Amino acid sequence: MMAKCIGVGDANPDIAGIGILLSFCIQAAFTFVISIVAFAFDLNYIKLRRLRARQAMDNGGVALLEMPKIWHRDVHTWYQLQETTKALLEKNSDIQTATGLALLVSALAQVKTLSFYHMHLVYDTVSLVAISNCAALVSSLDSSVAGTIRYLSIALWAILYLTYTSLFGVRLQSWDYNNPGHCYNTHRLSTPNAKHPLVDDIYISFTCLYVFYTLIIAAFKLSPFWVYNFSFQLLASSIGQDLPKESRRKRSPKKLSKSKRSLKDLQDNNFLQYSVISVAFLQFPLHAYSTFTLRRSNESLLNSSNVEQAWGFSQVGAMVLLAPNLIGIIIAVHKYLRWESREHGNIDNLSAADMKKREEDATQLEEDIGELRLEQEHKEGLRRVQERWESRFFNRRVLQDVELEPEGEQAQTKRVEQQGKSGGV
C-alpha cells in the first residue's frame, strides 16, 4: 500500500497565501504575452527598415534628408510601439524581481523551519520571476544607472535562487511520511508509486537548470557585437577574403543601448527573443500548474488551512503590486496616442527636435543601406565561389569525356568490321 503524508505543517499566508501566488502568476503571464507582442513588433520593425533601405537604394542618389516624411512614418510608428512594449517589460521585470527577492529573503530566513510543502511552493513561485528577467534582458540593453541596477538585481536574484534551491534539495533528503512538515501530497504531480524524494530531486534539478538556461540565453544579449563579428569573420574565412573594415566594426554595449541599432544587431536580438519566448512557453505553464496543483492537493493537510485563503494585508498588498503594470499600460498607450497626434499635426512644421530626429533617421538609413550593400557583396562573393567550384567540376568532366572519346571511336570501328565479316560469311 502506498504511504501517505499525515500532515504538511502550519499554514503560512505570507508565503503561500492566495494573493501572493496569484500576483506572481499574473505578472508572469503578463510578461509572457507582452514578450510575444514585442517579438511581433520587432519583426515588423526590421522588415520595414529593410524595405525602406531597399527603396532608397533603388532610387539611387536621392538626398536622404529630402526624402518624403511618409518614407519614415511607418518605421517610426513601429519603433514607438516597440519601445512601448520594451518599457513595459522592463518595469514589470523590476517589480517582479523586487517581490521575488523579498520572497526569497523571507524563505531563506525561515529555511530551517519551513515545511517541505511551503518550500516547494516558494520554489515554483520564484521560478516564475525568471520569465520577467529574461524578457527584460533580451528586450533592451540599457547602460544607464537604472539598467545597471536592473542587471545587478537580476544577478542577486539568481544567486539567492540558486542558494535556496540548494538548501531545498538538501532538506528534501530527510523526507518522512510520518513526520508532519517533512512530506507533502504529490497527487497529479507524480505517479502513485513514485519514490520520494528521488522524483522531487529530479524535478528540482531539471527545472533549476532550465531556469538558468533561459537566463544564459538572455545574457548573450549583453554581447551581440561578439555574435556579429564572429558570424561575419566566419563568412570571410569561408570565401577566402578579408571583409571591409566597416563590416568588422565592434559595437559596444554603450552604442547598442541607443534607440537605433543596426539591422544585423536587431536580427541577432530577434533570434534571441524567439529562443527565450520558446523556452518560457514551457517554463510558465509548468510552474503555474505545479503551484496551484500542489496547493490544492495539500490544503486539507494544513493546520488552519483557512488562514492561507483569507485576504489579509500581505495578500492584498501582493495584488496591489499589479497596479503599476496597469498604470504603465495606460501611460504607454497615452504617450503613443499623443505621439501619433503630434506626428499627424507636424508633417510640414518641423521643430528643432523633429529636425534632429530626422537627421538621426537619415544617418540610420545610410547605415542600413551600407549593411544591405555589404550583404550583397557577401552574397556575390559566395556566388563567385560557387561558380568557381562548378566551373572546375564541369572542366574536369569535359576532360574525362575527351579522354574517353577516342576509345569509343575505336570500339565502334571494330564492331563495324566484325559485322562486315559476319555478313560476308
What are the grid coordinates assigned to 16, written together?
503561500
Which is more confidently placed, 348 or 129?
Answer: 129
Separation between Cα atoms, residue 333 and residue 344, nearest integer Å: 17
Domain regions of the chain by residue span? 13-352
Other beta carbons within 10 Å of 308: 24
What are the Cα distances from residue 403, in Å, to 36, 398, 415?
63, 9, 20
Confidence of residue 230 (pLDDT cuts 50, 70, 90): very low
Separation between Cα atoms, residue 422 and residue 64, nearest integer Å: 86
What value does the mean pLDDT of the chain take? 77
| SS3 call for 10 | strand
* pLDDT at 310 exceeding the cut of 80: yes
Among the residue ranges 128-132, 160-164, 174-178, the one predicted with the least confidence is 128-132
Give me the pLDDT at residue 63, please: 45
Give me the pLDDT at residue 245, please: 46
Confidence of residue 111 (pLDDT cuts 50, 70, 90): very high
Instruction: Quick: pLDDT tens for 334-387.
Output: 888 887 777 666 555 556 666 666 677 777 777 778 888 888 888 888 888 888
Q: Is the dihedral of CA 288, 289, 294, 300 positive or negative?
A: positive
> Which residues lie closer than 8 Å to 278 by C-beta, 6 or more apart?
none
Separation between Cα atoms, residue 105 and residue 371, nearest integer Å: 48
Instruction: Quick: pLDDT tens for 10-58.
Output: 999 988 899 999 999 998 888 888 888 888 888 888 887 788 788 777 7
* pLDDT at 280 exceeding the cut of 80: no
Among the residue ranges 130-134, 172-176, 290-294, 420-424, the one predicted with the least confidence is 420-424
Separation between Cα atoms, residue 196 and residue 201, nearest integer Å: 8
What are the Cα distances from residue 398, in Å, to 106, 187, 387, 388, 390?
79, 73, 16, 15, 12
Other beta carbons within 10 Å of 370: 15
pTM (two decimals): 0.73
Please provide the distance, in angstroms rounded to a whole number, between the alpha carbons at the two ends of the chain: 100
User: CB of 177 within 8 A of CB of 194?
Assistant: no
* pLDDT at 109 exceeding the cut of 90: yes
> Which residues lie closer than 8 Å to 172 by C-beta, 6 or more apart?
116, 197, 200, 201, 204
Give me the pLDDT at residue 124, please: 95
Confidence of residue 226 (pLDDT cuts 50, 70, 90): very low
Exposed e or buried b per residue across 317-347, where buried means at least 16 C-beta atoms within 10 angstroms of its C-beta: ebeebbeebeebeeebeeeeeeeeeeeeeee
Q: What is the CA radius of gyration of the chain?
A: 32
* Interval 188-209 mean pLDDT: 92
DSSP 300: G
> Which residues lie closer than 8 Å to 341 by C-beta, 6 or more apart?
none
Among the residue ranges 20-24, 160-164, 271-275, 309-313, the one predicted with the least confidence is 271-275
Q: Is the dihedral of CA 276, 281, 285, 290 positive or negative?
A: negative
Give me the pLDDT at residue 373, please: 82
* Interval 266-293 mean pLDDT: 77
* pLDDT at 123 exceeding the cut of 80: yes
Other beta carbons within 10 Å of 112: 8
| SS3 call for 61 | coil
The winner for highest mean pLDDT among 56-65, 72-81, 131-140, 249-258 is: 131-140
Q: How far is CA 230 from the centre of its chain?
A: 20
